[in-house]
Amino acid sequence: MIGDFEKKASAWIVNVAIAMTALRTNLMRSILTTLGVMIGVFAVTLAVAVGSGAQVSVMQSINALGSNMALIFPQPDSEGGRSTFDRGRLTMRDARAIEKQISGITDIAPQLRTLIQLVVAGRNASTSAIGATPGYGKVANAAAASGRFISEADVRSAARVVVLGPSVAKKLFGDYDPIGETVRINRAPFNVIGVMESKGSSFGNDNDDIAIMPITTTRQRFAGDSLSGPDDLQMLFVGFEDGVSLPKAKREITKLLRERYRVRGKDINPFTIRTTEEFMKESAQVTGIFQIVLVAIASISLLVGGIGIMNIMLVSVTERTREIGLRMALGAKRSDIRNQFLVEAAVLCVIGGAIGLALAIAAGTALTIYADFPVPIGIGVGIGAILFSAVIGLVFGGYPAVRASRLSPIEALRSE
């Protein structure tokens, strides 16, 4: 039995050697043939990696936002129904009612958002300002890497203090420690009390390009004119304990707010509630579809490469008809002839696949470094690309190989 295995292994090795010799004999044709497979494997591998990178970026964005929480916006719900409201509604009184009446809440983070211009010593930076309470740090996993976060005292006194994101601090102060320094925000002096921990970037968005200040300060100095009421909010984060059912919590908050705003029957809600769980599910579905579309488009080039392999192998069979007849006359079986051409097609595709994989890894590395977009190409993807290349060779080289094995030895020897 061991002897039979050794004979079969030896025969396959001989077939590989013959294939390499044939490919070297027609080197330029071999290079042009592998080009189609190379481009196909490059495109498919990169498409899979980009899709995976998109999923990673979405998860990073959601984790940067915070986990296990509900987001409430003062926007009419878009899920059908009849609206009796001209605008959405959400106030600090709603936030306090939710905190008191809904169980399992760890903290709430009412917010106002606006764009601001910061200036210091001739340097300036435009960024998004978040007017928040100390609860924002707990709910959104935001903490000060140096200095401190805003406090309840800052909120009560509408203090002119600001916590800078790392990117803003870098633009304004370089490597200098900004804690205790004064910056002018829309011409008003503010004291820098902290610098946030870095959250990196996702989908090209810099999560560190922000500034956080007390919500009362933001309301008085920057966002008051854009709000209809004295305690209106633009957003509310509600953090929950681990193990709390977010769908259930969403239903409870919806019921509470509908009662507070006396929403009747089929009238739509004057607010929208989304949970991080919903964001994750929807994002996974969208990125999954995106990845399937990319792979489907990229697979067309791989199909074209496979057809090119079949075409060249048919030409090779025609050119080597006499060689096939001679091998058969010397005792080669039909299976030997078939395997010879199958191996040749597979080797051709594996070489093209390996080059395509190397190019995909190089492109993925470049995207990760220069575009700050994760393009993970793991060992499993690499092995899968090489094996898939071999399968392409076997599938598209199958017909030429079978055709070669069915040639009549006598007719083959007579061919010119």
CB under 8 Å to 228, separation ≥6 — which residues? 87
What are the tens digits of pLDDT across the range 308-345?
889 888 888 888 888 888 878 877 788 878 888 888 88
Q: pLDDT at residue 110 above 90?
A: yes
Q: Kindly tell me the burial class for residue 179, based on how many C-beta atoms sit within 10 Å of its own C-beta (0-12, 13-18, 19 or more).
A: middle
Q: Tell me, what's the pLDDT at 316?
A: 83
What integer best gives the mean pLDDT of the chain?
85
Out of 50-59, 186-195, 345-354, least confident range: 50-59
Is there a contact between 392 and 302 (Cβ–Cβ < 8 Å)? yes
Q: Tell me, what's the pLDDT at 167?
A: 93
Q: pLDDT at residue 416 above 70?
A: no
Of the pLDDT bands very low, low, confident and very high (cuts 50, 70, 90), residue 202 is low
Q: pLDDT at residue 95 above 80?
A: yes
The conformation of residue 221, written as its DSSP 8-state character, comes to: I
Q: pLDDT at residue 81 above 60?
A: no
Q: Which candidate, 67, 80, 120, 46, places its Cα nearest to that of 374? A: 46
Beta strands of 173-311 (E only): which ranges? Answer: 182-185, 188-196, 201-202, 205-206, 210-214, 235-240, 272-275
Q: Tell me, what's the pLDDT at 20?
A: 75
Of the pLDDT bands very low, low, confident and very high (cuts 50, 70, 90), residue 64 is low
What are the tens digits of pLDDT across the range 374-387?
788 888 888 888 88
Alpha-carbon Rg for the chain in angstroms: 33
* Alpha-carbon gap, residue 386 to 353, rounded angstroms: 6
DSSP-H helix ranges across 271-408: 276-319, 321-329, 334-370, 379-396, 398-405
Of the pLDDT bands very low, low, confident and very high (cuts 50, 70, 90), residue 131 is very high
Q: Tell me, what's the pLDDT at 118?
A: 93
